[in-house]
Amino acid sequence: MSPIAREWLAVVLFLVSFVGLSAAEALWIRQAKWTTLGKAAVFSYGTNLLGFCIGLFTSFVILSIILAMAWDGSIYDVPGHDATLWAAMIAALFITPVLLITIKRLLLWFLKLRTGLPAWSFSFVASILVFFTTMGLPVIILYLT
């Protein structure tokens, strides 16, 4: 497989899993009878799109700053040395799922769809599944090809 085809495969896998899991999330909300399918679809796609856009942009900024510091050599002058860099890398990794969980939970509360433990459980499970599947599936498939 050519390198360009591999890149497009990753993009297509990301988009297909994003759309498919967002639809599954909307069906899950509808199955639980929290709201209508239309509102559930808007909720699902909206929260996932907003969470991914803000979260992945924030991760990009954090990693870009680390890369810029590595290029000019100032990475060696960071207070805390490796601990600071590891903290930044962990923040870049976990910002998107934490943001997805928070956005879903806040919107469930704001739209008065669900409150309490069921809302937190749904937000956590749906966000973790969507994040790790959409980000992990392309990586696993490309690793195996």
Q: What is the pLDDT of residue 72?
A: 84
pLDDT at 125 over 90: yes
Measure the CA–CA gap between 92 and 43, rounded to whole angstroms.
25
Residue 109 has pLDDT above 80, yes or no: yes
In one letter, which amino acid is 54?
I
Average pLDDT over residues 60-77: 88
Q: What is the pLDDT of residue 4?
A: 83
* Whole-angstrom distance, CA of residue 51 vs CA of residue 134: 13
Residue 69 has pLDDT above 90, yes or no: no
Is the pLDDT at 1 greater than 80, yes or no? no
The model's pLDDT over 77-89, given as tens digits with 9 standing for 90+, comes to: 888 778 888 999 9
Q: In the chain, how many domains are there? A: 1
Give the max Cα distance, the chain: 56
Structural domain containing residue 95: 3-144
At 2-59, the pLDDT tens digits run 878 888 998 999 999 999 999 999 999 999 888 889 999 999 999 999 999 999 999 9
Residue 44 contacts residue 30 (beta carbons within 8 Å): no
Q: What percent of the chain has pLDDT over 70?
A: 100
What's the pLDDT at 20?
A: 95
